[in-house]
A and B are shown apart, each in its own frame.
Chain A
Amino acid sequence: MAHNILVWIETFKGKAVLVSYECLGEAKKLADGGTVTAAVFGENAAAIASEAITFGADQAIVCEDATLADYRAEPTIALLAKAAVDLKPDVIMAGASTRGRDVSSGLAVDLEAGAIADCIAIEAQGDQLVATRPVFAGKLLSHVVVKTAPMIITTRSRAFPMPEATAGKTGEVTTVAPVLSEDQITTKSIGFAVEGEGEVSLNDARIIVSGGRGVGGPEGFAPIVDLARTLSAAVGASRAAVDAGWIPYAHQVGQTGRTVAPDLYIANGISGAIQHQAGMRTAKVVVAINKDAEAPIFKLARYGVVGDLFQIVPALNEEFKKRLGK
């Protein structure tokens, strides 16, 4: 069945965030002949809208008003709610980022519509879309349906493939007026301190090299960071390493950290407690390097090395430098 779908393209500093395009690619697939509209607000919205059309949107609405320059939930939700009334989409989609969750929930309230957060698969069954999403910190999966129109769906980072761009594809881009004026918005964005600039982010990473209790201290992360650099990978950590103060919380993978889904996850000195597994078990290939042959992480791993990470990881780094010509 054809679905008309409205996709919110989240932006940061004048660029679309990756998960928005993954979401857009999935929207195009689900639309099944219906219209996919990209909604782009803020700095550089018109240019991003053109880009979104090459990634699968049929048309776009844009607003570059100053109230939307730095993302804030209220003006974004208000604009999307108005677009939902005007365009009457069956489905509204966004990436399941921090902002995507806030926006989807606010919209759900405004439209009294059901929202499904953090989907990893969506399947059309007759007229109905059935979403698959992890629950209980990824220990179980659920199938969820929504019985209101529109339904609101957010998609998890890297759960859906990045669509291929069709160069030269064009579509109608409509400029819309903001719904709220500055004095109607209750929050003020004061500043933004970008972190990890130049580093690969955990959410977008194809490869993650991670360290746990076994790295022994802050300096123990050095070989892990070196290997990550060689592989253009993000650096992850277990809760034990974060709680010990060896590496900032932003690197924590697991139930009380980030949930990641890379192609390759190299766990170094991580025993693999159930809470850590919850954050990384959807990785395609897991490599475990650990002194303890009985560590639970080996049950999840495709490849295991029982040994000293301070010998294995530097050797692996040298090997990949050679193979990758770095």
Chain B
Amino acid sequence: MNIVVCTKQVPDSAATLKVDEQSNVSWGDAALVINPWDEYAIEEAIRLKEKFSGKVTVLTVGPEQSKEALKQAVAMGCDEAFLISDAAFEGSDALATTHILAQAIKQLGEVDLVAFGKQAIDGDTGLVPAGVARRLGWPLLSYVAKIDELDPGSKAIKVTRLLEQGRQSVGSRLPAVISVVKEINEPRYPSFMNIRKASKLQISVMDAAAIGAEASKVGKANAAAQWIKVFSLPARAGTCEMVTGDSPQAIAASLADKLLAEKVI
């Protein structure tokens, strides 16, 4: 099977973020890591490769430093990595990113499956997997909690999707685009062998020309959705009032008074 995983490099989820008056976001000395959701997509892709043989190619769109995220993916067991990078891509929105990724995927020959994490923890839009599927004209299987069946021969897949009301069982043909949720697996730690492989790997860069990106569809100037301001949350009003009492019952009674007065019950 030829599997492609799309990843994004993001600030670590434990990072404390700061934003200045010009909407520049910084995260101090916190590490840049693979988007945590994408680790589940990488793990699932590697498991499929181990079962059916083939190869896993990992992609990311971003600046030079995003190569570190690709190396992390290779250290987990991905075989090939491409950085999709061009000055023209800077400031692209989710819609533009779907164009860039779809164009890049078209350069990779016959692909059976494209896997995403359900969303990136920086932009948090969750729009990209569905948009890439739409651009490629492939079935979208989003929020996948389990791949129930996969037959590379007859090019069929059946999955369980985790939605608000429960679990939907859905089948489609391959190639398809999946996005995965945390429940699907437990991502592995990089092996020593793969860490060595990743450290030696020369990561190829594909630019706008190499993927045939349309200039009018990418970059800040063409972003249909534009972030005009990023700012901190308003501080929560007031401080925490400690509820005390002589017994659990007294504390409960006092707390119940306060919550009923707040009209939240």
Contacts and interface: CB of A to CB of B under 8 A. Distances in A.
B25 interface: yes
A227 to B, nearest CB: 10
Interface string A291-326: 000000011111111111001101110111001100
B126 interface: yes
B255 A316 contact: yes
Contact of A105 (B94, B165, B236): B94
A194 B165 contact: yes
B230 A140 contact: yes
Interface string B237-265: 01011111001110111011011101011
A17 interface: yes
Interface in B148-199: 158, 161-173, 176, 181-183
Contacts of A250: 162
Interface stretch (B48-56, B57-65, B66-74, B219-227): B219-227
Nearest to A256: B182
B153 to A, nearest CB: 18
Interface in A118-143: 118, 130, 133-143
A196 interface: yes
Interface string A100-129: 011111101110111111100000000000
Interface string A273-296: 111000001001101100000000
B89 interface: no
Contacts of A97: 163-164
B172 A109 contact: no
A142 B243 contact: no
Interface stretch (B77-85, B105-113, B131-139, B201-209): B131-139
Contacts of A102: 130, 140, 142
B141 interface: yes
Nearest to B17: A139
A112 B131 CA distance: 11
A147 B135 CA distance: 21
B182 A187 contact: no
Contacts of B230: 135, 140-143
A115 B251 contact: no
A143 to B, nearest CB: 4
A19 to B, nearest CB: 9
Interface residues of A, number: 97
B130 A105 contact: yes
A249 interface: yes
B232 interface: yes
Contacts of A308: 248
Contact of B125 (A118, A194, A255): A118
A117 B249 contact: no
A319 B247 CA distance: 13
B87 interface: no
B265 A302 contact: no
The B interface is mostly helix, strand or loop, or mixed, namely: mixed
B252 A303 contact: no
Contacts of B127: 101, 104-105, 108, 115, 117
Contacts of A190: 158, 169-171
B172 A188 contact: yes
Give the contact-size bracket for chain B.
Answer: 35 or more
Contact of A135 (B122, B161, B238): B122
A168 interface: no
Contacts of B258: 303
A307 B141 CA distance: 46
B190 to A, nearest CB: 20
Interface string A250-265: 1010011100000110
A112 B128 CA distance: 14
B237 to A, nearest CB: 9
A180 B151 CA distance: 26
Given A145-B225, A285-B264, A98 B164 contact: yes
A144 interface: yes
Interface string B89-111: 00001110010000000000000
B215 interface: no
Contacts of B142: 73, 98, 101-102
Contacts of B143: 98
Nearest to A128: B228
A143 B181 CA distance: 27
Nearest to B139: A186
Interface string A233-247: 000000000000000
A98 B238 contact: no
Nearest to A101: B126
B185 to A, nearest CB: 12
Contacts of A83: none
Given A77-B134, A109-B131, A195 B182 contact: no
Interface string A140-160: 111111111001000000000
Contacts of A84: none
A305 B135 contact: no
Contacts of A135: 122-124, 227, 230
A273 B16 CA distance: 11
| Interface pairs A-B: 6 shortest CB-CB | A114-B224, A315-B252, A105-B130, A114-B225, A195-B166, A315-B248
16 contacts: A101-B130, A105-B98, A105-B130, A134-B124, A136-B121, A140-B25, A141-B230, A144-B226, A192-B166, A249-B183, A250-B162, A256-B37, A303-B243, A304-B241, A306-B242, A318-B252
